[in-house]
Amino acid sequence: MKSARAKTPRKPIVKKGSQTNLKDPVGVYCRVRPLGFPDQECCIEVINNTTVQLHTPEGYRLNRNGDYKETQYSFKQVFGTHTTQKELFDVVANPLVDDLIHGKNGLLFTYGVTGSGKTHTMTGSPGEGGLLPRCLDMIFNSIGSFQAKRYVFKSNDRNSMDIQCEVDALLERQKREAMPNPKTPSSKRQVDPEFADMITVQEFCKAEEVDEDSVYGVFVSYIEIYNNYIYDLLEEVPFDPIKPKWNSCSTPMRNTDFVPPQSKLLREDKNHNMYVAGCTEVEVKSTEEAFEVFWRGQKKRRIANTHLNRESSRSHSVFNIKLVQAPLDADGDNVLQEKEQITISQLSLVDLAGSERTNRTRAEGNRLREAGNINQSLMTLRTCMDVLRENQMYGTNKMVPYRDSKLTHLFKNYFDGEGKVRMIVCVNPKAEDYEENLQVMRFAEVTQEVEVARPVDKAICGLTPGRRYRNQPRGPIGNEPLVTDVVLQSFPPLPSCEILDINDEQTLPRLIEALEKRHHLRQMMIDEFNKQSNAFKALLQEFDNAVLSKENHMQGKLNEKEKMISGQKLEIERLEKKNKTLEYKIEILEKTTTIYEEDKRNLQQELETQNQKLQRQFSDKRRLEARLQGMVTETTMKWEKECFLFQPDQNAPPIRLRHRRSRSAGDRWVDHKPASNMQTETVMQPHVPHAITVSVANEKALAKCEKYMLTHQELASDGEIETKLIKGDIYKTRGGGQSVQFTDIETLKQESPNGSRKRRSSTVAPAQPDGAESEWTDVETRCSVAVEMKAGSQLGPGYQHHAQPKRKKP
């Protein structure tokens, strides 16, 4: 992962070109390139003028087990394979140029995979100029007659413009013209035939409502971003001046044998706009001059031959058109010498390098490194769009990683509201570019959801309009007669006033008659004028009265509205106070609720602790009851036995010794006695009727019985032999066999009567009242006791089974 970059500093003031309340989405357009061969497989279909559909090619369907998926993507407008450059320009670039002339910025860039027609769309080909020459042609058609003389505007290193008077500009022109090799192109040169056909635009295009009381200057610059470094393509460095040629695809073959210039740095001006420090800006006066400058830089741009494109752009190129505008002075003769009145707008035309996969381009070495940097910068652009969309849709404030790439860092101002942003997605419909086109469509889908603040209109300088034509006697057309001429032409012509004879008595009477007619006509015109003046005065008076009446009516309405507003303000204040009171009560209730919840949690914890304590006490009580029950049973049997012994019966038959029987004697058993067991001489021996005795457990015996008993012997800690009878139930398994589940264990233990050893018992026998030891402690009685408990029982020795003790002889 990349290390975190420093966050872009927050702007302290609202910039002049931004407007926070109105936003427009980024305009994304799609242009589909024609296929190279008619029978070539196509993966993109134009549905209508706003929608395209992607088809999965046959090869991808086979690789993905026949998964066939069609996806549709919508754009602001889709241009098919038969779209001309003019149609594309009229829809996409014409509004941006119009905004440029009216003082607003714009950004237009082409995006797509390598070989999709981005450079052709931007630059064009012979006989069919692209967007760039058409933008230049529209600019100069609109401001051609209003351009300032060369060097009246002069660029500086702070991304702004200085203004010079006519004398200083003239001196600098003479100085530049005296140089042996002037850097500035001249409009008097002949157009280079290499690009003459590209800038010849048949259609005349001009912006509407151009400010005629201003003068304009056009400056162009050309840079490229190569391996995330910025280079000035107009910088004067030695290179091999081999002229480009045209290949079979009508694309200029540019030269790459030149010494690479020094990389440039990005800086921020006083208005927090990003610019390339030390970049060459050339003032141009015509479309031919501007395109000549562009062509000079185009020869230096880095291109290379890859497997997908014979002339693949290896860098992002940015052609900037900067339009400088300054108003005329009050007389309309010279430029106003105030730097604050200068308006600078910029249109950036960006030709992005194509995204590519190295396994298809077969790039290696420098080409592989270039492809990695191209893909990384485009990935940063996608990430910025994703973060911008997320911040706008979900109200988050994540940092947009503009600084991760020179490309995004240079144009961050446009996405912050410094102008319109337009993108043309160029796609090649051939099936081999399906996956790349899919990624391009997804990026375009995200970009359309990003909104950019709408730029505001420029401020008016405040001088009187029409200053340029003020000193001319006629209007701008120059052929319209004045009003006085029309009035004089309405009078009858005067007769000849020449008197040739002293006896001439006709000339003067005719002249007097003509003058009287003129006087009469003049008097009629004066009367008509007075009459119309009075009528006009009456109309003005009526209009003034109507205006006054409307003003009074509006004033009354305004007073009513003000009263209503005052009442609403009072109501708002009351509601605000009530809202604050309720918020305070809610805060108190929240605090009280928090306290109660804390008490509830504490009480619940205490309750759980008490429940656990009660459970433990209940378990201890049950164990104690079980032990006491065992002791009661043992004591009861003891006293019953003693009472029976003290009542002898002479006629009673002798009691037959009985074998110890299992509790489940009714079932059939497998009596498993290993051959290693020793025969004990205990009085009580385990005896199970209907048992199959075996020394080794076998399947045949287990299949015939329901119970199983294993006789196990081991040496106890006191040196005596301890016999354990491990019992279990036999179950049939699904596989046809048998399994044994052990249920309980009976233990038979033989102890020595020597008094030095303590009698082991699970319970302590109660002492005799007279201190004498009863028959319960004799050897035969102790040997006849067998303890039985279930395997894994937690109840201890409370559950006991006592066999019938041996009866004494009388």
Report the Cα 371 to chain-centroid distance in Å: 24
3-state SS, residue 423: strand
According to the annotation, is 117 in a ligand binding site?
yes
Distance, in Å, from the CA atom of 192 to the CA atom of 244, rounded to the nearest integer, reads: 12
Beta bridge partners of 747: 724, 787
- Token readout for 170 is 């003239």
What is the sign, positive or negative, of the torsion defined by CA atoms of 694, 696, 701, 702? positive
β-pairing, 252-253 vs 245-246, is: antiparallel
Q: Greatest CA span in the chain, whole angstroms? A: 212
115 labelled ligand-binding: yes
Q: Which long-range contacts (CB under 8 A, 24 or more apart) does 457-461 make?
A: 457/102, 457/103, 457/104, 458/102, 458/103, 458/104, 458/343, 461/327, 461/336, 461/341
466 is in an annotated binding site: no
Map residue 657 onto helix, strand or coil.
Answer: coil
- Please return the burial class of 460, using the count of CB atoms within 10 Å of its CB with bins 0-12, 13-18 and 19+: exposed
The answer to whether the annotation marks 114 as part of a ligand binding site is: yes
Q: Decide if 158 contacts 270 (C-beta within 8 A).
A: yes
What is the distance between the alpha carbons of residues 539 and 711, in angstroms, rounded to a whole number? 135
- 19 phi/psi in degrees, rounded to 5: -150, 115
Q: Got the DSSP string for 574-607?
A: HHHHHHHHHHHHHHHHHHHHHHHHHHHHHHHHHH
Listed in sequence order, the residues at least 6 apart from 460 whose beta carbon sits closer than 8 Å to its beta carbon are none
Residue recorded with tokens 């001439």: 504
DSSP notation for 454-501: PPPPPPP--PPTTGGGTTSSS-SSS-PPPHHHHHHHTSPPPPP-----
- Our measurement of the distance from residue 519's CA atom to the centroid of its chain's CA atoms, rounded to an integer in Å, reads 86
Per the CB < 8 A criterion, the answer to whether 8 and 400 are in contact is yes
673 backbone dihedrals φ, ψ, rounded to 5°: -120, 105
106, 223 Cβ separation under 8 angstroms: no
| 118 has binding-site annotation | yes
Pairwise CA distance, residues 174 & 182, whole Å: 11
* DSSP line for 40-107: S-B-EEEEETTEEEE---HHHHHHTTT----EEEE-SEEE-TT--HHHHIIIIIHHHHHHHHTT--EE
Known binding-site residue numbers for ATP: 112-119
Per the annotation, binding residues are 112-119
